[in-house]
Amino acid sequence: MPHLYVEYSANLPGLPEQQMLTELVSAVCSHPSIVDEFDVKGRIAATQQYVIGTGAGPRGFIHADLRLLSGRTPEAKKELSDLIAEVLRRLTPHPMGMLVQVSVEITDMDRASYHKSKL
């Protein structure tokens, strides 16, 4: 914990996956509520099959979900969301004429049922 999942529509050519993940994990680790940088795990995946609304025209999306153990304040969650959104907006391509949606969600994981081991 934390786990950072990034999913994006495959019609965003040139999205710099590794750079984006590196900058996102660095942004999350920079927040004072994150105790150990080793705990932050990030992954990214392009989605081939998707539908965005019902209208015509090219559309794309990128969405990040940061999953944290429960207990952080709403202010801390908002700060983390803003840090993630800034990186997504800066690095997500937006081809001419395409509407691209950027979204971030902070999800609480239940402390009582979460398990982590180190091998």
Q: Please state whether the peptide bond connecting residue 2 to the residue before it is cis, i.e. omega within 30 degrees of 0.
A: yes
Residues 43, 67: contact at Cβ < 8 Å?
no
Q: Where are the domains of the chain?
A: 3-109
Predicted structure pTM score: 0.92
Q: What angle do CA 11, 12, 17 make, to 5 degrees?
A: 125
Whether the per-residue pLDDT at 44 is higher than 80: the answer is yes
Residue 114: pLDDT band by 50, 70, 90 thresholds? confident
List beta partners, residue 104. Answer: 64
Is beta strand 41-47 parallel, antiparallel or unpaired with respect to 99-109? unpaired
- Choices 3.30.429.10, 1.10.275.10, 3.40.50.720, 3.10.105.10: CATH for 3-109: 3.30.429.10
What would the pLDDT profile of 56-111 be if each residue is shown by its tens digit? 889 999 999 999 999 999 999 999 999 999 999 999 999 999 999 999 999 999 88
The residues, any chain, with a CB within 8 Å of residue 19's CB and separated by 6 or more, are: 91
Residue 51 has pLDDT above 90, yes or no: yes
d(CA 65, CA 115): 19
pLDDT band at residue 118 under the 50/70/90 scheme? confident
**Reported confidence tier of residue 113, pLDDT bands at 50, 70, 90:** confident
